[in-house]
């Protein structure tokens, strides 16, 4: 088998590795990189599937990095980590800066203003290599079928993980070299132990985290370290693997076949990056182990094909460009997916942009004598790349903030929201005043749950991540109210908090996205079932006077509203504990982005002012709850969300919806006086 030749005949601690090939370039690995990026691009654009190609990138990155550092240590060369990091990010950042600048320009031209804030914020996290943690915190659905709702910078998560590993891995190699020298242990043996431990610990954590919270685990650096560690272990093992040529020929083709099957034969929905990710990584490992077979039947003949090698050379730029081109196209055209023709055009444009970026930016800087002369000049290149993106983003964000502050200063007069529904209300504000919240702030206009339970922490520790937040927390409250449920419960807190503060009530929130407050249900996620049981116990522990939740669930199809299984039984269990149950009717959902409708069509457009019965049934299931739960208090606020039989995107110059189903904090806050009156009337307090 063809293998890499070490730069020194002996290891750093006196061990002699097997003979390796002299040239560090492995054309079959470059071809593998090209196929991996083609998988990512085509699966994203044409098939809407996860390919496993990104996982292969991670393995290859660690494989090549390991070969480089092992050669340095075994040659007795200094690792010079500072210089390494400067050169590495000098190579990585220029294409990133070009793509981010391009995305900013396209955003200004083709993306509605309501998306600007998100894209500007993610420009920072993409540029500074922490995008994956932003997406993890937001539990973004990477598998969502509608890519038009995704961020055009979402794919930077993997580059962020790589950037973090490019800092961590050299530190681990440096530490391994010190241990090997201090203990007179062969360097490769220490590296094997260190990265073997990383592999085992990270894979175990990845499996557990993927099972418990897959949306977070997908972007978590810790759940991905084992994929890099596998690349390192492969690089260490490769010189010792000696297989007959015929077996390597078979291994190469089997590896490619397995690699291409990911996403088609294997159902990876909701299972990456746990043990299922071993499938594409094992496939890539087989291809790398096969190496250069010198056989006309070997897979390496395909992988060493010059057009494929050239594609591998620009794979980095192609990965950077393909996703924003896809997402911005979908936003511009108002579509959820592209067909074969549109997909082909997007791939073609992505290839062209990748070629130009590689030819005009990446290659010249990589070979530039001036830029490579010393570390100081590498630092200058990095600083310029950061400035190219940071300057316009900072100026843009400052302009949006200034505009928002001017609008907020007169909001009491110009943006009454639900207060405008009063019979005797007369608008005295500026007819030209902007709608609030501003488009770029609308997506974040949500009730904060940042204050953890301290005063009312009894039993909260058992909620296992479901969260306990003190929205209103007086020292000696007259009543204790606990809001339990999903994000649709969270939105109503904006209207309940003012009345709680005014009447000296404690208002506690136990919110977990996607979890309706109901008894155990077989079709419900285990995490939600467990959380609801814990929340029920918590109500007793804090001696709650009332629980507030959504009692129905709105849908897009008739009857447009359901009573989820287990809601009635949960209400009865709450009332059996002597706790008042307040069930709020879920607000209507829409099949389009209601939050951005006024920007797309205008405030008065028919598209933004829908008949009430286009989203509600004349015989709503909510009414059936009154008979099923005679002791419950049921609150219907549909007339505040859809007044006069019309569901509008804007009421009282205030945006009603964040997206297609969540109400803005600004609008719910404007409902507080009327909502509070109804709430207190129901309770009789």
Query: Residue 493 belongs to a domain with what CATH number?
Result: 3.40.50.1110
One domain for residues 467 and 607 = yes
Is 438 within the bounds of a domain?
Answer: no
Rg of the chain over Cα atoms, rounded to whole angstroms, equals: 29
Q: Nearest Cα to 641, choosing from 421, 424, 373, 395?
A: 421
Q: What are phi and psi of 657, to 5 degrees?
A: -115, 145
One domain for residues 464 and 354 = no
- The predicted-structure confidence for 406-433, as pLDDT tens digits, reads as follows 988 999 899 999 999 998 899 989 999 9
* Residue 16: per-residue pLDDT: 43
Is 397 within the bounds of a domain?
Answer: no
Is 339 within the bounds of a domain?
Answer: yes
Q: What are phi and psi of 474, to 5 degrees?
A: -70, 160
One domain for residues 240 and 331 = yes
One domain for residues 464 and 371 = no
Is 593 within the bounds of a domain?
Answer: yes
322, 356, 391 — which closes off a domain? 391
One domain for residues 361 and 484 = no
Q: How many residues does the chain have?
A: 685
Is 632 within the bounds of a domain?
Answer: yes
Is 165 within the bounds of a domain?
Answer: yes
One domain for residues 357 and 496 = no
Contact 320/95 with Cβ under 8 angstroms?
A: yes
In the chain, how long is the greatest CA-to-CA distance?
91
Q: What is the DSSP code string of 192-246?
A: HHHHHHHHHHHHHHHHHHHHHHHHHHTT-GGGTHHHHHHHHHHHHHGGG----HH
Residues of the chain with pLDDT under 50: 1-16, 18-22, 141-145, 460, 464-466
Residue 321 CB contacts under 8 Å (≥ 6 apart), including other chains: 99, 102, 350, 353, 354, 357
One domain for residues 196 and 321 = yes
**Run of H or E including 27:** helix 27-42
Query: How many domains does the structure of the chain reveal?
Result: 2
Is 20 within the bounds of a domain?
Answer: no
Residue 605: how many other CB atoms lie within 10 Å: 12
One domain for residues 456 and 590 = yes
Query: Domain of 653?
Result: 445-683
One domain for residues 240 and 371 = yes
Q: Nearest Cα to 48, choosing from 145, 156, 157, 150?
A: 145
One domain for residues 385 and 465 = no
* Residue 361: per-residue pLDDT: 95
One domain for residues 207 and 349 = yes
- The predicted-structure confidence for 543-590, as pLDDT tens digits, reads as follows 999 999 999 999 999 999 999 989 999 999 999 999 999 999 999 999
How far apart, in whole angstroms, are the C-alpha atoms of residue 291 and residue 289?
Answer: 5
How far apart, in whole angstroms, are the C-alpha atoms of residue 44 and residue 355?
Answer: 20
One domain for residues 323 and 461 = no
Is 314 within the bounds of a domain?
Answer: yes
359, 376, 391 — which closes off a domain? 391
**Run of H or E including 483:** strand 479-485
Contact 552/624 with Cβ under 8 angstroms?
A: no
* Residue 249: per-residue pLDDT: 96
């Amino acid at each position: 088998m063809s293998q890499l030749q070490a730069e020194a005949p002996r290891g750093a601690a006196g061990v002699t590795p097997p003979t390796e090939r002299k040239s560090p370039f492995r054309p079959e690995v470059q071809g593998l990189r090209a196929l991996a990026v083609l998988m990512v691009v085509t699966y994203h654009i044409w098939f809407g599937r996860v390919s496993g190609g990104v996982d292969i990138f991670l393995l290859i990155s660690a494989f090549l990095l390991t070969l480089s550092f092992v050669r340095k240590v075994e040659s007795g060369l200094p690792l010079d980590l500072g210089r390494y990091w400067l050169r590495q990010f000098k190579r990585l950042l220029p294409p990133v800066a070009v793509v981010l600048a391009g995305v900013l320009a396209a955003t200004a031209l083709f993306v509605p203003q309501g998306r600007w804030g998100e894209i500007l914020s993610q420009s920072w996290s993409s540029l500074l290599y922490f995008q994956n943690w932003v997406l993890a915190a937001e539990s973004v659905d990477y598998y969502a079928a509608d890519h038009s709702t995704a961020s055009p910078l979402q794919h930077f998560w993997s580059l962020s993980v790589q950037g973090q590993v490019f800092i961590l891995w050299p530190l681990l190699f440096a530490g391994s070299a010190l241990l090997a020298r201090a203990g007179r242990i062969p360097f490769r043996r220490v590296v094997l132990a260190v990265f073997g431990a990383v592999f085992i610990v990270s894979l175990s954590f990845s499996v557990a985290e993927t099972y418990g919270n897959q949306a977070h685990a997908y972007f978590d650096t810790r759940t991905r370290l084992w994929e890099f560690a596998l690349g390192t272990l492969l690089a260490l093992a490769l010189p010792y693997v000696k297989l007959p040529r015929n077996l390597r020929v078979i291994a190469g083709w089997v590896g490619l076949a397995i690699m291409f099957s990911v996403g088609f034969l294997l159902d990876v929905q909701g299972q990456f990056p746990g043990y299922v990710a071993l499938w594409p990584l094992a496939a890539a490992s087989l291809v790398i182990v096969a190496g250069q077979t010198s056989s006309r039947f070997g897979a390496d003949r395909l992988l060493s094909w010059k057009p494929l090698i050239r594609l591998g050379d620009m794979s980095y730029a192609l990965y950077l460009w393909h996703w924003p081109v896809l997402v911005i196209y979908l936003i511009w055209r108002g579509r959820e997916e592209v067909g074969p023709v549109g997909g082909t055009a997007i791939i073609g444009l992505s290839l062209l942009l990748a070629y130009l970026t590689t030819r005009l930016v990446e290659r010249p800087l990589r070979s530039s004598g001036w830029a490579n002369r010393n570390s100081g000049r590498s630092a200058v290149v990095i600083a310029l790349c950061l400035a190219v993106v940071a300057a316009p983003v900072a100026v843009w964000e400052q302009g949006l903030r200034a505009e928002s502050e001017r609008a907020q200063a007169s909001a009491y007069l110009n943006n009454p929201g639900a207060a405008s529904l009063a019979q005797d209300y007369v608008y005295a504000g500026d007819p030209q005043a902007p709608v609030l919240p501003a488009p770029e702030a609308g997506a974040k206009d949500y009730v904060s749950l940042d204050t953890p339970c301290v005063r009312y922490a009894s039993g909260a520790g058992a909620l296992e991540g479901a969260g306990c937040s003190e929205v209103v927390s007086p020292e000696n409250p007259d009543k204790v109210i606990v809001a339990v449920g999903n994000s649709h419960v969270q939105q109503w807190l904006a209207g309940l908090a003012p009345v709680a503060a005014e009447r000296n009530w404690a208002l506690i929130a136990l919110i977990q996205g996607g979890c309706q407050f109901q008894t155990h249900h077989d079709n419900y996620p285990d995490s939600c079932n467990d959380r609801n049981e814990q929340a029920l116990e918590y109500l007793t522990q804090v001696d709650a006077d009332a629980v507030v939740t959504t009692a129905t669930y709105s849908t897009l199809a008739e009857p447009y509203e359901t009573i989820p299984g287990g809601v009635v039984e949960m209400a009865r269990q709450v009332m059996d504990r002597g706790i008042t149950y307040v069930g709020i009717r879920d607000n209507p959902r829409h099949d389009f982005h209601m939050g951005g409708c006024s920007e797309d069509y205008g405030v008065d457009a028919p598209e933004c002012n829908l008949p009430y019965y286009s989203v509600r049934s004349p015989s709503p299931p909510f009414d059936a709850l009154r008979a099923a739960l005679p002791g419950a208090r049921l609150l219907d606020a549909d007339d505040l969300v859809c007044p006069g039989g019309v569901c509008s995107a804007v009421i009282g110059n205030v945006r009603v919806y964040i997206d297609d189903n969540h109400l803005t904090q600004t609008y719910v806050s404007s409902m507080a006086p009327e909502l509070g009156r109804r709430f207190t009337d129901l309770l009789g307090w």
